[in-house]
Homo-oligomer: A and B are copies of this chain.
Amino acid sequence: MKYEIRFSGSGGQGVITASVILGAAAALHDGKNVIQSQSYGPEARGGATKADVIISDAKIRYPKARHIDYLVSLTQKAAVKFIKTLKKGGVVIIDSDFVDLPDSPDHRIYRLPMTSSSIAKFNRTTTLNVIALGAFAEVAGLVSADAVKKAVLDNSPAGFEEMNIASLDMGRELARAAKKN
C-alpha cells in the first residue's frame, strides 16, 4: 500500500516540520519506505506552502507526490490551491476556524476547530502544526500512535516536549469528535 499526504498552510506554520516528523515516524519507527519533500517553485513566495510525505510498504519508485490521498490545510489559500491535487475518494483535514471548502461527493472533509481549541487550552497557536499532525494520524491510522509520539519527542526542542505531546493529543481528540458526526 502506498499513500501520499500533503500538509499545507502559510510560511511559519510549521507544515514542513509536521511532514518531517510524520516521515520519521513512519520510516524510523514503523519501518516503512518514506520520501518526504518540499518543492519550491516561483509560487513558493506566494504564501501557500506545502510539504509532502509518501509512505509505502514497497520501494518508492517515483519520488514526487502526484495523487494526494490526504490533504491537510491550515489556510484557505492553501486549501483552495491544493484541493485540486487531491485524488477522488481522498480525505481533507482543515482548520475550520480559518478554512472552509464546499462538500463534495469526491472527498470527505474533516472540519476541525484547531486554532480556537489551541487558544482555549494553551493560550497560543504555536503548535498548530502538531495539532494538525495528531488529527491526521487519528483520521488516517497509517502510522502507529507510538511511532508518531516518538518522532514528535525526537523533534521537540528541550522544554517543549510536554506542550507538543498535549498538542498531538488535542489533534487526535478533535479528529475523534469529528468522526462521530
Write the chain B residue with the least CB distance to A41. Answer: B33
Contacts A11-B28, A37-B37, A63-B63 known; list 5 others, CB within 8 Å.
Answer: A28-B44, A32-B40, A34-B44, A36-B38, A157-B160
- Chain B contacts of A36 at CB under 8 A? 37-40
Complex CA gap A36/B20 in Å reads 11
Complex CA gap A11/B25 in Å reads 13
Q: Which of A34-77 contact B (CB under 8 A)?
A: 34-42, 44-45, 59-60, 63-64
B63 engages A37 (CB within 8 Å): yes
Residue tally, chain A, CB below 8 Å to B: 29
18 A-B residue pairs with Cβ-Cβ distance under 8 Å, sorted by A, are: A11-B154, A12-B154, A23-B40, A27-B44, A28-B45, A31-B42, A31-B45, A32-B40, A34-B39, A34-B44, A36-B38, A36-B39, A37-B37, A39-B60, A39-B63, A41-B59, A63-B64, A157-B157
- The contact of A16 among B20, B35, B40, B45, by CB within 8 Å, is B20
Write the chain B residue with the least CB distance to A160. Answer: B157
Query: Closest approach, in angstroms, between the C-beta of A129 and any C-beta of chain B?
Result: 13
Complex CA gap A139/B112 in Å reads 46
A40 engages B20 (CB within 8 Å): no
- Chain B contacts of A34 at CB under 8 A? 38-40, 44
